[in-house]
Structure 1
Amino acid sequence: MPRTVITFGTFDVFHVGHLRVIERAAALGDRLVVGVSADALNLSKKGREPVFSQAERIAIVAALKPVDAVFIEESLELKRDYILEHQADVLVMGDDWAGRFDEFKDICEVVYLPRTPAISTTALIEKISGTA
């Protein structure tokens, strides 16, 4: 029986940390589905507009070899619905979210992957803009 893995992220200013989490998530199953945060969701959770638009971020993620499907994540409160809709067997999140999604263990396996050390989109943006 094929295993579907689902993960979520903003994937703004795409970097090697993003690539590694997608590759590691894909390795946990046969099919990888990625939810890309809507521009409005990113603004509400991070307090700033993404550098790259929702359409650009979707195009980047969809072009990656390990990714089988991409959709827009409109709301953090809809995670359970997204997991069920995409029939995910495994939810993968970064370990900075450890424990926050354990409530979904009733419908799928929940895996928290370690983040790539010393790589942060926010830090990159600050460095590029000269505010760091």
Structure 2
Amino acid sequence: MATPDDRRYTDQHEWAQVQGTSGAATVVRIGITDHAQDALGDIVYVQLPEVGEELTTGNPVGEVESTKSVSDVYAPLAGTVSAVNAALAETPETVNSDPYGEGWLLEIEVTGDAEDPTDGLLDAAAYQALVDQG
């Protein structure tokens, strides 16, 4: 399974990647990991939040439904939803085929003093160790 080292991870199997800045906010793209999509199986539906919605770290922000189950997606960071991947409404299976690319779920704007708001999340090695432990 792929675990790119250009992003950070949560123990709930989400990834977060800084995209840049928008005014005083840092834009962070969020998705689910390769491990998560593999465990879920064939994804048939993705429910995402509305643009403008305020997110709280650790709270559910949407759902990913597969042929096996429905799983919550959790906010790895607090912020405001600035974009959602609308293409997933028509092609939710993209999360399976490209979880770190075209299968991204949403983007949030994070405000605060941190240069990189994802610093508190797991790096690729720590996430891979978590997955390997089972």
Same fold judged by TM-score > 0.5? no
Larger strand share, 1 or 2: 2
Larger helix share, 1 or 2: 1
Using structure 1 for the length normalisation, give the TM-score.
Answer: 0.29
Using structure 2 for the length normalisation, give the TM-score.
Answer: 0.29
